[in-house]
Amino acid sequence: MQEQEKTRYHLVFSGTVQAVGFRYRAAHAAGSLGLTGWVKNRWDGTVEMEAQGRPDEIRRMIAMIAESRYIVIENVQSREIALESESGFHIR
C-alpha cells in the first residue's frame, strides 16, 4: 500500500467551539497523530486552524476533537493550501 502524501488544510469550525477546550483538545489530538500546524479562536466565535499531515490523519484529528461531550461542531469550512516547513502543533 502506497503512503499518502502530506497535505495542508485551512479549517474554520463553527458551533459550540469556544470556551469548551477545543484548542487544547486539537493540540493534543494533532500531537498524538504527528500533525503540524496551529489553532486559534477568532473574534466571531469560530475557531481557525491550519493542519498539515496525511488526509486520513487530519480526518482522525477532527473526529477526536468531536468526541468531546462539550464540543459541538456544526460546520467546517476547509480548503487545501500550500505545505509549510514547520514542527509541532501550536495554540495561538
pLDDT tens string 9-56: 999 999 999 999 999 999 999 999 999 999 999 999 999 999 999 999
Exposure string over 45-82, b if 16+ CB within 10 A, otherwise e: ebbbbbbbbbeebbebbbebbbeeeebebeebeeeeee
Query: How much is the pTM?
Result: 0.93
Selecting among 23, 42, 59, 60, the annotated active-site residue is 23
79 has pLDDT over 50: yes
Instruction: List, in order of start, the domains of the chain with CATH numbers.
Output: 7-91 (3.30.70.100)
Helical spans, DSSP H, in 20-91: 22-33, 55-66
Q: Which three cell numbers stand for residue 25?
A: 483538545
The SS3 of residue 20 is coil
Selecting among 41, 54, 69, 92, the annotated active-site residue is 41
Helix 22-33 vs helix 55-66: angle between axes, to the nearest 10 degrees?
A: 140
pLDDT at 4: 74
